[in-house]
Amino acid sequence: MPFPTALPALSDNYIWTLAEAGADAIIVDPGEAEPVLAAMRQGLRPRAILVTHHHHDHTDAVATLAERCGATVYAPDDARIAGEFVPVREGDRIEMAGLDLRVMEVPGHTRSHVAYIGEGLAFTGDTLFSLGCGRLFEGTPAQMFDSLERLAALPPETRVCCAHEYTLANASFALTVEPGNPALAERAAQARAARAAGLPTLPISMDSERKTNPFLRCREPRLAARVAEYAGCDPADAVAVFTALRRWKDGFAG
């Protein structure tokens, strides 16, 4: 099973690289060229560049790197993504460098956001973060809730590769929402130890996320009750819980 590597980029982005055999690799969301160029000097050979969404911190280095290493670029069909690329849609397969990934459309953070799933991994971009989820810049809460539910339905052993290191900040909000969740306390401690050692908190299993990420737990009665108490209303369903939870996080100062 190929193991993904997170290249830290910009202030808190990760550019994921994944190689099956030798150095032929895919890279995901290169918002900055230098971390990838440094890995290339160590022998990495990007054959494909996968883009999850159009935001500049995920795309700024795509054209430079595609030209430098001759990689094929795959991205959602969105005019805001510059340069040449193969447009991808729900269910498309990408077989490259001995790897096999498929595309899942996960709108919410942006309207054309996709995730790449395969090899026991999920590259979730800015849709699913460990212990959190992306802001709703373009989609509706119902769209984002549906996208997160589809990701959460992946096999529990799936390792989630998010595009940002937000775990500790997310943990502080998650612990406010679910102070009595022992799995969350354990995950927060593990993430603090990883960051103290200068290591990424990712990837993390989907099983862990389902037990700890409040945005994947909107059907939990205790969490729903806590959100209702905060919002001063009685959410009618899980989407309404998600909506109120996302709003709570947007105004959360830590």
Write out the catalytic residue numbers. Answer: 53, 55, 57-58, 109, 126, 164
Site for Zn ion in 209-248 (CB under 5 A): none
- The mark string for 89-128 relative to Zn ion (x by CB under 5 A, - otherwise) is -------------------------------------x--
Minimum distance from CB of 202 to Zn ion (Å)?
Answer: 16
Pairing of strands 121-125, 114-118: antiparallel
Nearer to Zn ion, 162 or 191 (CB): 162
Cβ 215 vs Cβ 239: under 8 Å: no
Judged by CB under 5 A, which of 4, 14, 46, 55 binds Zn ion?
55
Q: 137 vs 252, which CB is nearer to Zn ion?
A: 137
Contact 144, 109 (CB under 8 A): yes
Strands 45-50 and 24-28: parallel
121 to 160, contacts with Zn ion by CB under 5 A? 126
Stretch touching Zn ion by CB under 5 A, among 23-31, 52-60, 178-186, 238-246 = 52-60
> In whole angstroms, what separates CA 108 from the centre of its chain?
12
Judge contact between 118 and 50, C-beta under 8 A: no
> Which residues neighbour 88 within 8 Å (Cβ) at sequence distance 6 or greater?
74, 75, 76, 77, 94, 103, 114
In the bound state with Zn ion, the residue whose beta carbon lies nearer, of 112 and 243, is 112
Query: Which residues are near Zn ion by CB under 5 A?
Result: 55, 126
